[in-house]
Structure 1
Amino acid sequence: MSHISPEKIPQQAFDWYDDYAHGDIDRRTFLSRLGSLSLAGLTLGAVTSALTPNYALAGQVSFNDKDITATYQEFESTNGHGKGRGYLVVPSNLDDKAPAVLVVHENRGLNPYVRDVARRLAKQGFIAFAPDALFSMGGYPGNDDDGRAMQRSMDREKIDQDFIAAASYLKRHTSSTGKLGVVGFCFGGYVSNMLAASAPELINAAVPFYGTPAKGDLVTHVRAPMMLQFAENDKRVNATWSDYEVALKANNVDYSAYFYPNTQHGFHNDSTSRYDPKAAELAWSRTVEFFKQYLV
């Protein structure tokens, strides 16, 4: 996998990409700001390409791996968009039942990276289900810019309800033991926190990657064990942690929080130069062991 080394890209570029990815600035402003930087011999196009996902570079488990079976499944979402759909991956050698993990994408729909995360979990013996928040609009459109615009146009409360419905569907799945975990990235990190707070009866363990907490007093409802993964260079998300930690302590929640040195928001996503292989591997191994501890 070939990426520009993150050390060659100025921190400001990562920060501006984060602003762009979360809708705080538009693409023209993002590119204009990049053009103002001294890029140490790198072209503007090379840096832009390095910061934005290239899913051809990613993928750790093939969709036709013999150890897993992947299908798309629909579920009812009465309080959301009526129906939802997600990518269900089960271990091929499943004789009886297995614990399940809901996998929640970033703010741009169910892209190839998140489907690959679901396959990785199935390889570890879990039933994994990755819903697509964009299903009611036709699904992930094949590129992140359009996916981001689509998701931003949707009713956020209905999206939250779709993920609550997805969690309920997965917990009741005929092959599930009834133990349910959730892992999510960026927006999906927020959804992981939201589910732990909004549906504590459903969630047995949660691992938000660089996600903001549930809103308002909802945080007082968190009960499930939590493992929170943070990037060191992620001011927007990290600014929410101190108050969130106070709430978790007040709730007597069993939690652990990890900050990975010199990493960027999105460091687990192996399709961009924000990817940090060592930190991603460590965070992922911790995640899998956490789920094995609390779900198996």
Structure 2
Amino acid sequence: MPPVGGIGRVRFGRLFPPFARTPLMSRRPYVPLLLLSIGACTVQRTAPAPSQSLAMQRQVPAVSELGRHTGGPSAMDDHMAHMNAADLVAPQINAVTTPQDLSLPASANAAAERVKNSPRHAEWVKIPMAGTPDTLMAWVVYPFAKDSRQKAPVVVVVHEIFGLSTWVRGVADQVAADGFIAIAPDFLSRARGGPSSVELSADTARRIIAGVNTTERNQIINAAANYAMMLPSAQQKYAVIGYCWGGQTVFAHAVNGGVKGFSGGVAFYGAPYTKGGTPATATTAAVPASVDTDSLKKISKPVMLLNGSKDARIGALMPALEEAMKGKKYEQKNYEGAVHGFLRAQGDPKATRDEAEEAANIAATKDGWPRTIAFLRKNLK
């Protein structure tokens, strides 16, 4: 297995991608892409890398409209300001870890050690995106030996706004430990200028993820699922799980319908398309948006939403969402006292400890992960 954060055998792509070219270098003007729920995470952040490429330094607007998507109108992202403010008080990645349950995904602080010591075969792969010149980087983890005659269904793991981090690779490792072929694609492969296994800083990922709209998200999931289902040890079924930005992407993929073999999705603290509402600030509460029921009508596969009650914005949407999803295979749970990002935070301490919150995050993880695996096994059998 490649070392954590290692480069491995990687081709970095063009030095100057289209968005990084000056007018003299390209006749095509740069058109800013719209942003979809970019500030929707309150999980740990790493410090920016000491140096960044020209592509990574590209700035994006702090606030923008909800990106174009399949099955719903554009609207202002009503919780972005609130989540950006909440992120400032989230736990920071550091060396402090709490005891870890090896039947659950590692917390952010424990993920590097878990990935490094995993007994499972894992590898970086490059995946072509059908109909485009682009190539994706993805992290694949097998539940058994790569050349085994056993077969397993596929689970696509969708990262947060912080990119394909070591923590997300740790989640993929746990998915494989629970019996699935896990594939975690880097949704920023094109936006960063080409496929790479080098982990971006959280702040850099947040800046460039604006270049990934909902259409591209679905294309990436389709490409990753098709690649994984073609592996000799794969069954022809897949599900999608995602976190924050990735949780919203799960709903978008369910609306889109995916490719043949799509069997359902689990969204961790990620809301579906919404309309209206007023953004919160660090000191004022948000006026909840309304669920875009027109888009939800297109969902035909099972979906589950898991949230922490301290993410009040998503919590406020859940009653209407449950009503809109009546007649569909849908379930949801809001964990009391847990934060947005509870699976990543778990017991990792903030600068000022909140032991009750840490306990709530751990309790949510201990219930939410087995619930997720049961959902996957039921719908991928």
Establish whether TM, by shorter chain, passes 0.5: yes
Opposite residue 52 of structure 1, the aligned amino acid is Q
Opposite residue 256 of structure 1, the aligned amino acid is E
Is contact 1:213–1:240 with CA below 8 Å preserved after alignment? Answer: no
Task: Report sequence identity in percent.
Answer: 28
Is contact 2:41–2:244 with CA below 8 Å preserved after alignment? Answer: no
Is contact 2:187–2:212 with CA below 8 Å preserved after alignment? Answer: no
- Residue 336 of structure 2 aligns to a residue whose secondary structure is strand
Name the counterpart of 1:163.
221
- Residue 118 of structure 2 aligns to a residue whose secondary structure is coil
Of structures 1 and 2, the one scoring higher in RCO (CA 8 A, sep 6+) is 2
* 1:6-55 Cα shifts (integer Å, max 9, x gaps): xxxxxxxxx998499996459xx959x97xxxxxxxxxxxxx5x633448
Q: Does 1:210 align with 2:269?
A: yes
Is contact 1:110–1:132 with CA below 8 Å preserved after alignment? Answer: yes
Structure 1 unaligned runs (5+)? 1-14, 35-47
Higher strand share: 1
Pair 294,272 (structure 1): closer, same or farther in 2 beyond 3 Å: farther
**What does 1:61-100 correspond to in 2, within 5 Å?**
61-66=114-119, 68-78=120-130, 82-93=134-145, 94-100=148-154
Pair 164,219 (structure 1): closer, same or farther in 2 beyond 3 Å: farther
1:114 deviation in Å?
0.6
Q: Does 1:248 align with 2:325?
A: yes
Looking at structure 1, the residues matched to 272 and 253 of structure 2 have their Cα atoms a distance apart, in angstroms, of 10
Opposite residue 150 of structure 2, the aligned amino acid is D
User: Rg larger in 1 or in 2?
Assistant: 2
Is contact 1:76–1:83 with CA below 8 Å preserved after alignment? Answer: yes
- Residue 177 of structure 1 aligns to a residue whose secondary structure is strand
Is contact 2:43–2:341 with CA below 8 Å preserved after alignment? Answer: no
Opposite residue 82 of structure 1, the aligned amino acid is D
1:165 deviation in Å?
2.4
1:159 deviation in Å?
3.4
Q: Does 1:228 align with 2:280?
A: no
Looking at structure 1, the residues matched to 43 and 373 of structure 2 have their Cα atoms a distance apart, in angstroms, of 30
Is contact 2:44–2:108 with CA below 8 Å preserved after alignment? Answer: no
Is contact 2:41–2:161 with CA below 8 Å preserved after alignment? Answer: no
* 1:256-277 Cα shifts (integer Å, max 9, x gaps): 1111010110011045647611
1:56 deviation in Å?
6.8
Higher helix share: 1
Name the counterpart of 1:122.
176
Query: TM-score, normalization: structure 2?
Result: 0.61
1:141 deviation in Å?
4.1
1:243 deviation in Å?
3.5
Structure 2 unaligned runs (5+)? 1-38, 46-61, 64-79, 95-106, 275-291, 351-356
Please tell me the root mean square deviation across aligned C-alpha atoms, in Å: 3.4
**What does 1:167-178 correspond to in 2, within 5 Å?**
167-178=225-236
Looking at structure 2, the residues matched to 229 and 84 of structure 1 have their Cα atoms a distance apart, in angstroms, of 28
